[in-house]
Amino acid sequence: MLVKFIAYLVEREGKTITEAIKALMHQIKGAYSTLLITRGELYMFRDPYSIRPMVWGKRTDGTIVVASESCALDTLNVTERKEVPAAGIIQVNNSGISIIANGCEQYNGNAGLRHCIFEHIYFSRPDSHHFYENVYEVREAIGARLADLDEGLEVDCAVPVPDSSNFIALGYARRKHIPLSMGLIRNHYIGRTFIKPQQTIRDESVRQKFNLLPNFFAGKKIVLVDDSIVRGTTIKQIVDLIRQAGAAEIHLRIGSPQVAYSCFYGIDTPTREELVANRLSLEQIRVQSGVTSLKHIPLAALRTCVTSPQDYCYACFTGEYPIKKENA
């Protein structure tokens, strides 16, 4: 759609590509981190809210590299990198690099930034640096805040649901001075289960995706750490596996507040009716999951895990969307 919009303005109205991108920023509302390549030029541009990550840099041979995760630049030996500015346009051609820091004149500096907090919780790799934060450090901080909720709880170890929860569990274990144990092993050839289109496919994928260390859980009291609960079916199957392996207690700790609203900014999350937070109480979710206890990190505690909490979108927890329907 974005390409058609730009092409129409260039071909029918005689605008330059830069002018067309500026018009796009005024008229199309949403999350986009976009790369446009013509025969002679490359354009990078990003929505005014900078909802999704977008980084770029230059290799020593002069090659320009752009990616949605900074870790991709690491593998290509891009030592100097920058984020594409909010509402920014970067033009690259034989004449060099032109940076238009604000392609949307109506955008008022950083006052409107709304980065996706779920990039730090789940989506991004831990070796990425996004929104001026190290992802792994944010996740460790989330784990530490979760541990602060558990004063007096005595368990044998913390076990993450791999891989996105690994550093959250590490932060928890360090704060509680208990071992971090990789009792669950993930099959990396199975993708993200919560975005699978059908429940039967999601159920089958969970069993294919996770396996347990043999003879590990028997008699243990564990803290099971996960990043989020969406529909509630995946975690139930994981807990069932651990129960069958003989765990004495399973205390489930979640590195996000309850997901109660759909995301409309590039993530295929279910309708509100499918979200377990809208169908069951917290206690009912605990019972359905089969865990001894269940706690989510409070939103106020999550906000302390990033340097500039006012610059993030929390709509999937609060329903307060940065892009209003009347402007869509």
pLDDT for 191 equals 57
Whether 75 is in a domain gets the answer yes
The answer on 35 and 148 residing in a single domain is no
pLDDT for 238 equals 95
Average pLDDT over residues 251-265: 96
The answer on 141 and 108 residing in a single domain is no
Domain final residue pick, 55, 82, 113: 113
* Distance separating alpha carbons of residues 25 and 290, to the nearest angstrom: 47
Percent residues over pLDDT 70 in the chain: 91
Whether 179 is in a domain gets the answer yes
Q: How many domains does the chain have?
A: 2
Whether 176 is in a domain gets the answer yes
The answer on 278 and 181 residing in a single domain is yes
pLDDT for 327 equals 41
Average pLDDT over residues 227-247: 94
The answer on 301 and 177 residing in a single domain is yes
Which comes out higher in pLDDT, residue 289 or 196? 289
* Distance separating alpha carbons of residues 68 and 130, to the nearest angstrom: 9
Whether 322 is in a domain gets the answer no
Domain of 228: which CATH number? 3.40.50.2020
Domain of 37: which CATH number? 3.60.20.10
Whether 125 is in a domain gets the answer no
pLDDT for 179 equals 98
Average pLDDT over residues 43-55: 95
Average pLDDT over residues 141-170: 97
**Rounded to 5 degrees, what angle do the CA atoms 37, 40, 42 make?**
35
| Confidence label for 206 from pLDDT (cuts 50, 70 and 90) | confident
| Confidence label for 328 from pLDDT (cuts 50, 70 and 90) | very low
pLDDT for 106 equals 57
Whether 16 is in a domain gets the answer yes
The answer on 152 and 59 residing in a single domain is no
Average pLDDT over residues 210-236: 95
The answer on 108 and 144 residing in a single domain is no
Residue 310 has pLDDT above 70, yes or no: yes
The answer on 244 and 156 residing in a single domain is yes
Average pLDDT over residues 164-193: 89
Whether 295 is in a domain gets the answer yes
The answer on 156 and 46 residing in a single domain is no
The answer on 154 and 77 residing in a single domain is no
The answer on 296 and 160 residing in a single domain is yes
pLDDT for 228 equals 96
The answer on 169 and 56 residing in a single domain is no
Average pLDDT over residues 124-141: 97
The answer on 101 and 49 residing in a single domain is yes
Whether 196 is in a domain gets the answer yes
Residue 151 has pLDDT above 50, yes or no: yes
Average pLDDT over residues 260-266: 92
Domain region containing 212: 134-306
Average pLDDT over residues 152-171: 96
Domain final residue pick, 51, 83, 113: 113
